[in-house]
Amino acid sequence: MLSIIIPCFNEEASISLFYEDMLKMLTSLNIPIEFIFVDDGSKDNTLNVLHELSNKDERVHYISFSRNFGKEAAMLAGLQKARGKFAVTMDADLQDPPSLIPKMLEIVTSGEYDCAGTRRVNRKGEPLIRSFFARRFYALMKRLTDIEVVDGARDFRLMNRIYLNALLTMQERNRFSKGIFPWLGFKTKWLEYENIERTTGETKWSFWNLLWYSFDGIIAFSSKPLAIASILGILLFLVSISLIVLVVTRKIMLGDPVAGWASTICIILFCSGIQLFSVGILGQYLAKTYTEVKQRPNYLIREEG
Ligand code: UDP
Ligand code: MG
């Protein structure tokens, strides 16, 4: 069986379109399937649409969260509920073309690969500034972490049971899929396709959301920022030693300690800036550790069917 997991947040308009398209694709697939829609605390009619669908089609299951927990939590809940030998995660807005599923299934059933991932080769229809920062983010991730975060990789993935079980052992609260998947290893085959714009509704990601998300990703998979803070400290220490030597020799040779209020203030500001920066980085890791230690659940279910 193939489990199809769809996180939905305010997708009342997209779900039926998505379902229709999937049914069309499924006729060409001879494998039993189940749909697992995860209503991530939607404020619109999403849950009612899901009720209707599950009454009409017994292959449709749903989970409804007590509030919005985010897409990562929604995907996790769906994957935990999945009973299939294969599972695929995809968006409700038809940005992940269902027509790729037969090909993905073929790749994974052949046994050569454990996972079929998709990546978009361009960012057509996306604001330029967003594309620019996205590129910078991938470049930065490459330098800061050991894992290979694939540029343009989508959450549209089809995996086998071995891969899925391995994924479910990752119990962390700060879930950053783009890092978790490459961390797992296994054999992934990448399929490429052109970016498709959303059919209805609008994206839930603002620029600032994405920026914070990228910081979270770096912190979740790299401790290099901490090392950078230490190195900055050492560098500044070396600079201060040479300055001290300079000042002392000037006083002995010329009887003239360096004058100037302005230079002192500049140095104080510079150093306290670096200090705050470093403490800030430390704080970010501490905050993440705090949320992990609390062991709160990743999501809470209000209703399931
Ligand atoms: N989504 C979710 N919870 C959220 C935000 C988004 O479950 O808090 C779902 C959303 O319904 C969609 C998918 O995640 O099915 C991708 O969201 P979106 O299309 O807004 O992101 P984009 O495609 O622009 O990256
Ligand atoms: Mg989308």
Q: What are 34-63's pLDDT values in tens digits?
A: 999 999 999 999 999 999 999 998 999 999
Residue 81 pLDDT level (bands cut at 50, 70, 90):
very high
**Rounded Cα–Cα distance for residues 233 and 102 (Å):** 54
pLDDT tens track for 170-180: 989 888 888 89
pLDDT surpassing 70 at residue 257: no
Please state, in angstroms and rounded to a whole number, the distance separating the CA atoms of residues 292 and 289.
Answer: 5
Nearest residue (CA) to ligand 1, atom 5: 71
pTM of structure: 0.84
Ligand nearest to the CA of 37: 1
Can you read off the two tokens belonging to residue 298?
A: 């990743």
* 74 Cα: distance to centroid of ligand 2 (angstroms): 15
Report which ligand 1 atom has the smallest distance to the Cα of 91: 15
d(CA 160, CA 158): 7
- Tell me the DSSP string of 63-118: EEESS---HHHHHHHHHHH--SSEEEE--TTS-S-GGGHHHHHHHHHTSS-SEEEE
Closest residue by Cα to atom 12, ligand 1, is 91
pLDDT at residue 3 greater than cutoff 90: yes
Higher pLDDT pick, 305 / 263: 305
* Residue 202: per-residue pLDDT: 72
Interval 193-214 mean pLDDT: 77
Q: Which residues line ligand 1 (CB under 6 A)?
A: 7-9, 11, 40, 68, 70-71, 74, 91-93, 95, 198, 203-205
Q: What residue owns the CA closest to ligand 1's atom 8? A: 70
Amino acid 214: pLDDT: 84
Q: Is 203 left (phi over 0), alpha (psi -120 to 50) or beta?
A: beta
Neighbours of 21 (CB within 10 A): 15
**129 token code pair:** 């500034």
Task: Name residues whose C-beta falls within 8 Å of residue 232's C-beta, 6 or more positions apart in sequence.
Answer: 274, 277, 278
Q: Is the model's pLDDT at 146 over the cut of 90? A: no
pLDDT band at 28 (very low <50, low <70, confident <90, very high): confident
Average pLDDT over residues 8-30: 88
- Report the C-alpha gap between 149 and 176 in whole angstroms: 11
Q: What region, left, alpha or beta, does residue 18 occupy, with left being phi > 0 and alpha being psi -120 to 50 degrees?
A: alpha
- Enumerate the H helices of the chain as residue ranges: 12-26, 46-56, 71-81, 101-109, 128-144, 161-168, 177-184, 207-221, 224-254, 261-294
Contacts of 170 (CB under 8 A, 6+ apart): 180, 183, 184
Neighbouring C-beta atoms of residue 120, cutoff 10 Å:
19
Cα gap 233→289, rounded to integer Å: 23
pLDDT of 159 > 90? The answer is yes
Q: Which atom of ligand 1 is nearest to the CA of 90?
A: 15
Closest ligand 1 atom to 203 CA:
20
Q: Report the range out of 51-60, 130-139, 233-242 with the highest average pLDDT.
A: 51-60
Q: Tell me what pLDDT residue 258 has.
A: 64
Average per-residue pLDDT in the chain? 88
95 Cα: distance to centroid of ligand 1 (angstroms) = 10
Ligand 1 atom 23 nearest Cα: 203
H-run or E-run covering 193 = strand 188-193
**Among 5, 9, 44, residue to substitute to test ligand 1 (most atoms within 8 Å of Cβ):** 9
Residue nearest to atom 13 of ligand 1 (CA): 91
